[in-house]
Structure 1
């Protein structure tokens, strides 16, 4: 038992880093929105009005409408440069290593945290000053770059058979860290105020930087990075100095990220990558509205929740998503071991269906009990992202992981901005007659994702069945001493190993039953 625990602990790499980063992200996100609401109200009305907005419906609508606009501006200030930097830094991590790129977002977050602290202490400072934090976080890569580096790190150290399980564990870290952040953030804000919360946010990112520097080992060996750098230099000509070399790497990284989805690939894999991305696009647009509007929606009548209630709801919802992943992914790993991607898509579809049901319930919720039930109804949301990431790594070469995740990050960040603009304007336009209408639109977007997922599953089943048939024919040729290409022999060996593993697993099950 002790040996098993020790092996599990030794296998831990970037999971604590992602846990801490998401702990901080969810700690500051909702509290920053509350700070914006507080600053907007105090800069427009006196303190007595701000402490009891629910009694003044007209003022409440005006404050929340103006706050929604500033939340949108902050998102743009952090997401636009963040998306650009993720596109550059993601592929660049294939050359310089994952660790150095992983540290940049925490450096920007630490700088942003200092500005948050100052704005919390000097509450009458203009709302515009908060945008400086967004810019600092954006130019250092923000969440997109951090997630690209973490996921690329895991793909470096895992094989395809265990990758979905490890990616699922990473996704669970997002929700477990988020749960603690939401619970602690709401409670600390009510008891100690904004300054304490943002000081904790600063401490978290300093801890992340310390862990990466001291504990984390580089996942890309130096000889592999040197090989990629030499290969790149051969393509563009040897740069005369390090400054030019750095610029050439940046330009090449951007080109690689922009082209990785559209490169011609074996069979229908390019189409499958594009369909996989379309599922993400529609899902992320809906998710952006959820992120921006949930706090505003729950603070608006008829719910009119206090900050602590909002924190409990967000924490419960996040915790249930993480718990679902922890409980379900061991089952998925056992069932889908060596399975084809089309079978994995069933789990992604289940996650999308859960998301649709959750958004629909939010749109209709007029009581605290019904709104809280969304935590259970939509708890399978994380399945979709984990399965999509696993499938994407099976559709590209191992040397393209950083570029692929960077491209995905750019597209998702662009869609987050698009969705933020769309849903913030839609919420302001519909708040008078149906505040929950925006969540119904999110459910419709998720339904589109579900249609894409079903079609992708159908097309992958046909494509991968044909590929296995070709490999089976290759095995017959090999047994008959017929000629085969070197590349085919490698694929045949892999197929035979998979079949041998399945036979051994079958024997083990039979022996256990006996």
Structure 2
């Protein structure tokens, strides 16, 4: 009987690949993502409230916004609706402008980082976000037209925007982690998003209430500048063997296309596409639910005030942390695919409870049931990362960033349209629709996960791409160095003469 061990191409024994493996470095790009998300969590509500204030002044609306079940009537109500509509339109124009430009830049910068290193795509977008915050401050101080906000957004998009930082951080973790730790390291990054969002919501709400919108924006600028300083000073480059590469070339776009069109490994292309589709559905539902939750809680029968809405938002962001802890525990006895399925079940159950919630206790029960809802996305990201070569991580996560950008648009179109259209027969129908959508990734991940359990035993016939292992007296057989089989599974096979 001979043991059969997989040779991991992204292990420290493969220095020619030019990737730095540092499993013990548990603090690397996490502060970059935390600081950036904290700045965005502050910036989003503050800029929206500032636009609302400016539009109100322009249209002559001096009243206060309706809260809960107390709605105004007559001409005042119509004027308030006009202010809300114009504010929404400005947000849409600004976000669409940033999305269009960012889609171009992230697919350029992500693959470029596979050759020149990750630090540039952490620093450049942070500079862009700093310039955006500076322009926003100038507009606020000088009371320039709101359209000048679009200049800052476009400038940030040209330098990569937040999605490029996401791609850079996840690519960096893929560079420095082995397959045993990658899923958890990705989940830590996801948790940084949630914790930063929670702190940003609390700080921004209290500070703007006390001192208005301009003072907190200085913190936004400071956080973005701190991100630039940290990335430049403390982040060690993970791509140790760099190549000279032009930035403005179609080669980077072709590398993203080739990632999903290459036939170099049996089944890799369709698995990449299916996992990307699963991520698209999960993130679309996540964004869509967030878009309608506050409206659902403000109106009858819940009629929540700002304090309860704040508590609900805090619990929602804590889902990132509880999912991280749950994932770490479940990895001791379950494969990643099962963890993703449990996360989806938790998400579906919570959305079903939301759909029938008529009291605060039921609503908070829905939040509680969803405590593992964010365990799915880090598993999908890790699955995608393990399917790509170590020299393709930048291209991979650039494409993932594009998928998530498309999710933000799709969620707005689907859920913001569906919610008002279904109020007349079921107020919570949009939540049920989201739960039904999650059945799609549930089926995909389950099917692929089952196939991956059998895959290691059939790889000897697939003719793979990579490494060799010894069997008995020197016989060798090729295996896939980037197999997506679960990191906790040990493969053993009896070889008979």
Q: Which category describes the TM-score, using the shorter chain as reference length?
A: 0.7 to 0.9
Q: CA deviation at 1:46?
A: 2.1
Q: Which has the higher contact order (CA 8 A, sep 6+)?
A: 2
Q: Which residue, out of 75, 79, 89, partners 2:95? A: 75
Corresponding residue of 2:71: 55
Q: Is the 8 A contact 2:36 2:223 kept in 1?
A: yes
Superposed, 1:257-268 pairs within 5 Å as: 257-268=256-267
Mapped partners of 1:490, 1:79: distance in 2: 36
1:490 Cα offset (Å): 8.0
Q: Which moved more, 1:178-187 or 1:38-47?
A: 38-47
Please report how far the alpha carbon of residue 400 of structure 1 lies from its aligned counterpart in structure 2 after TM superposition: 0.8
| CA shift for structure 1 position 198 | 1.8
Deviation at 1:151, TM superposition (A): 0.9
* Gap regions ≥5 residues in structure 2: 1-21
The answer on 1:136 being equivalent to 2:174 is: no
Give 3-state SS (helix, strand or coil) of 1:264's partner. coil
Aligned to 2:43: 28
- Richer in helix (by share): 1
1:465/1:48 CA distance change after superposition, 3 Å: same
1:350 & 1:149 partners in 2: Cα distance? 28
In structure 1, what is the equivalent of residue 119 of structure 2?
99
With the length of structure 2 as denominator, give the TM-score of the two structures: 0.82
Distance 1:18 1:193, change over 3 A: same
Confirm or deny: 8 A CA contact 1:320 1:379 kept in the other structure. yes
Match of 2:342 among 347, 350, 360: 350
| 1:241 aligned residue | none
Instruction: Give 1:367 shift.
Output: 3.6
Contact 1:71–1:292 under 8 Å retained in 2: no
Query: Unaligned 5+ residue runs, structure 1?
Result: 1-6, 233-244, 337-342, 503-514
| Contact persistence 2:459–2:479 (CA under 8 A) | no
> More displaced, 146-155 or 294-303?
294-303
Distance 1:452 1:40, change over 3 A: farther
How big is the alpha-carbon RMSD for the aligned residues of Structure 1 and Structure 2?
A: 3.5
Q: Alpha-carbon deviation of 1:252?
A: 0.8
Measured after TM superposition, the shift of residue 11 of structure 1 is: 3.3
Distance, in Å, in 1 between the alignment partners of 2:361 and 2:24 is 39
Q: What does 1:245-256 correspond to in 2, within 5 Å?
A: 245-248=246-249, 251-256=250-255
C-alpha separation in 1, matches of 2:434 and 2:313: 18
- Aligned pairs for 1:7-26 (under 5 A) are 11-26=26-41
Matched residue of 2:28: which SS? coil
Moved more, 385-394 or 372-381: 372-381
CA shift in 2, pair 1:422/1:470, >3 Å:
closer
Cross-structure match for 1:242: none
Cα distance in 2 between the residues matched to 1:438 and 1:400: 37
Shift of 1:119: 4.9
Describe the superposition over 1:237-274 as per-residue Cα deviations: whole angstroms up to 9, x where unpaired: xxxxxxxx4433xx111111122122114232222111
Separation in structure 2 between the aligned mates of residue 166 and residue 36 of structure 1, nearest angstrom: 38
Tell me which residue corresponds to 1:439.
431
Residue 417 of structure 2 corresponds to residue 400 of structure 1: no
CA drift at 1:423: 3.0
- Kindly report which structure 2 residues correspond to 1:386-425, keeping only aligned pairs within 5 A, or say none: 386-425=378-417
- Partners of 2:149 and 2:178 lie apart in 1 by 43
Contact 1:113–1:201 (Cα < 8 Å) also in 2 = yes
Q: Which of 468, 471, 482 is equivalent to 1:478?
A: 471
Contact 1:75 1:417 in 2 (8 A): no
* Superposition pairs of residues 207-226 of structure 1, within 5 angstroms: 207-221=226-240, 224-226=241-243
Q: Deviations over 1:154-178 (max 9, x none)?
A: 1111111111121121111111222
Partner of 2:19: none
Rate the CA distance shift 1:74–1:479 in 2: closer, same or farther, 3 A.
same
- Aligned partner (choices 305, 329, 333) of residue 331 of structure 1: 329
> How many Å apart are 1:65 and its aligned residue?
4.5
Q: Contact (CA 8 Å) 1:31, 1:189: kept in 2 or not?
A: yes
Change (3 A) 1:268 1:197: same
Going from structure 1 to structure 2, the CA distance change for 1:363 and 1:43 (only over 3 Å counts) comes to farther
